[in-house]
A and B are shown apart, each in its own frame.
Chain A
Amino acid sequence: MGEDYRLMWQELGLDLEAHDALLGVLGQAYGDIYLAQKNRPLGMSYFDFVMSEVHGLRIRELLDEKKAGRKIIGSYCVFVPEEIALAANATLVGLCSGADFAVEEVERLLPRNTCALIKSSFGFKIGKVCPYLESADMVVGENTCDGKKKAYEILGKMVENLYVMDLPQVKSEHGKGLLKAEYYRFKKAVEQLTGIAVTAESLKQAIQTVNAKRAAIHRLSALRKADPAPISGLDALLANQVFFYDNPARFTESVNKICDELEQRVEAHQGVFPERTPRILISGCPQAVPNWKLPMIIETSGAVIVGEESCVGERGTRNLTSETGSTIDEMMESLVDRYFKVDCAIFTPNSERLDHIKEMAAAYKADGVIHYGLQFCQPYLMESIPVENALEEEGIPCLRIDTDYSMEDVGQLKTRVEAFIEQLR
């Protein structure tokens, strides 16, 4: 790091003192949670580097891209298609929403019973500590849950360049039509922002780039089916989190490199934990950086996480976009097909998600499922009871957790998670 980053942050309008405090906490947490793990794949050193430079070098890169004429688009949701941004000469980045910040100020704008993720996105804005948000030429909000929908009305007054994407709530032809119309509207907005029209070639290239990134994650996920698991759930989650920030091509290469190493581990029957360690599937709300609370508790209580049924995980990354189209319209259609399959809990009914949880539990040989609900996240909390009932009918133990980003319930959660793991042994 050094003084040039400070100047960069200052120019972005960050609150340097608050930002220092945030980086201090982040660095400490990363050390305690990540670097303290044993038997990590060597390839994870790439992600250690990325995390140490998450507000430094990566921001410098984005600003260099901007200087060269590219635009930066910030997003809060996996429904915002990265392919369209890339095809119109823009870079898409995920925006910060995984830690409590400036809570008191946030609660002057949002009710206290708003989920931690939404509050966090406001906190990073009010506290002026998210360099991604401040670098963005366009910020995309999306009409997913009621909390986010209404929050964007308020965020729109604080962020000049907020663009709100509408999303369907039902998996009908009508719903698909809405998604398609919204993707065309988004394409037009991005083209206007960058002044560069999406072409068939650029869209094809973009689809391939993002598919390659997803395929690398699929490869990583498949390796986690082995017992002993070759990588911790914490490390795999980190790869899924960095998916939203990193340069796509470099990310793909780095994940594939880790996979090469993991293949050797699987072959040699080596794992990050001993064989027959109880295996947990996490299902539910997204876990954005640095929200590592639950996985940290699980993996320091004698279990290993083998999959995440989550937007930061398989719900977000599964299904590649068909690469068969040759015209823009055909490829847009393929994108709509791919994204329309995302089984977010804002959809009703949403039985595909339940099927996917069962599928994942079987594929990753999970001994139990921990349903992760963020307090006040109505869609996922509403689904958590039917999920638990359905899993129990199939003889798959399920523990429902309802928590937020604060650390005050860690002791209590640890007892519940440990007791659940004792049940699985």
Chain B
Amino acid sequence: MRYAGIDIGSRTIELVVVDDRGVAQDSLQADTGFDPIVQAKKLLSEVSFDHITATGYGRNLFEVAFDSPTVTEIKAHATGAWALFPGVFGVLDIGGQDSKAMSLLNNGRVKKFEMNDRCAAGTGKFLEIMARSLGYDIDAFGPEAMLAESYLNISSMCTVFAESEVTSLIAKGEGRREIARGLHESVVRRAAAMVNRAAGKGGDIVFTGGVAKNPCIVRSLAEKLGCRVFIPDDPQAVGAFGAALLTMQAHGGQ
């Protein structure tokens, strides 16, 4: 049997298929675009599977279109992260437009979680817009920020206000890397506070979602939290992987 999980996020869609032992066989990604169902169909046509579970903000659209069960991103990420790093204490997921932190019980289930408010402050979208206003490619944004010798304090977490703060720092002649570093630090402060609210201190965490690909965020977060921060090989696929494992469990797999 082949079990699938699909994670329909605000920015990207991931599809993962696992076998009877919960080992990933296929992992695909596409942009969400303006019609997530069309994109999802395209991905589905590229793989074969027997059962599927949907997660992510588009899960209810998928549920209606394909009559599939759903789980929240929170449970999906917890399940995926626990399978990859058994015994881990907490999970932080920062995606395109939202972020969440959770602590796990010693069986991998969610103990407590926190989610960001209704705006996209401190998420992938925030970093993307800030990178653009500083003229960086998103992949270079983290590495460049790491090269800064010091960082400037960015007080606003609101994308709109932070952008004007950045503009005024540029006008003052401040260094591009230092501003970039300041923006990264502000995301980390917010993320660390969320992890502390959901999990407190006491163990290592897994960091998932697209923002986990940013090395500057990862390094600062580990320093700030004082713990190890594990990054999966494909942090964006953890939600879909978790959903695939839950599909497997629902059908009597391992």
Contacts and interface: CB of A to CB of B under 8 A. Distances in A.
Partners in one complex: yes
Interface of A: 392, 397, 408-409, 411-412, 414-416, 418-419, 422-423
A279 B9 CA distance: 29
A419 B72 contact: yes
A415 B72 contact: yes
Interface SS of chain B: mixed
Contacts, number: 33
Nearest to B246: A422
A412 B118 contact: yes
Given A411-B57, A412-B98, A419 B110 contact: yes
Interface residues of B, number: 16
A414 B60 CA distance: 10
A418 B72 contact: yes
A416 B57 contact: no
B72 A422 contact: yes
A35 to B, nearest CB: 20
Contacts of A419: 72-75, 110, 113
Given A411-B57, A415-B57, A422 B75 contact: yes
6 closest cross-chain pairs (CB), A and B: A419-B74, A419-B72, A418-B72, A409-B118, A422-B75, A423-B110
Given A411-B57, A412-B98, A415-B57, A422 B71 contact: yes
B72 to A, nearest CB: 4
A408 B73 contact: no
A416 B110 contact: no
Contacts of B110: 419, 422-423
B115 interface: yes
Contacts of B112: 392, 397
B42 interface: no
A419 B110 CA distance: 9
A422 B115 contact: no
Contacts of A397: 112
A423 B115 contact: no
Contact of A423 (B73, B98, B109, B118): B109
Interface string B41-58: 000000000000000010
Contacts of A414: 60
14 contacts: A392-B112, A397-B112, A409-B118, A411-B57, A412-B117, A412-B118, A416-B113, A416-B115, A419-B72, A419-B73, A419-B75, A419-B110, A423-B110, A423-B111
A422 B118 CA distance: 21
Taking each of B71, B73, B111, B113, which has the highest tally of chain A beta carbons within 10 Å of its own beta carbon?
A: B113
Contacts of B111: 423
Interface in B67-83: 71-75
A419 B112 CA distance: 10
A422 B77 CA distance: 13
A79 to B, nearest CB: 33
Interface centre among A408, A409, A411, A412 (most CB of B within 10 A): A412
Nearest to A409: B118
Given A416-B113, A418-B72, A422-B71, 17 more contacts: A392-B112, A409-B118, A411-B57, A412-B98, A412-B118, A415-B72, A415-B73, A415-B115, A416-B115, A419-B73, A419-B74, A419-B75, A419-B110, A422-B72, A422-B74, A423-B109, A423-B110
Given A422-B110, A423-B110, A412 B115 contact: yes
B88 to A, nearest CB: 17
Nearest to B97: A412
Nearest to B113: A419
Contacts of B75: 419, 422
Nearest to A406: B118
A409 B110 CA distance: 23
A409 B118 CA distance: 6
A409 B120 CA distance: 12
A392 B111 CA distance: 11
A418 B75 CA distance: 10
Contacts of B72: 415, 418-419, 422
Interface in B103-133: 109-113, 115, 117-118
A419 B57 CA distance: 12
Interface-centre pick from A397, A409, A416, A422 (highest chain B CB count, 10 A): A422
B57 A408 contact: no
Contacts of B74: 415, 419, 422
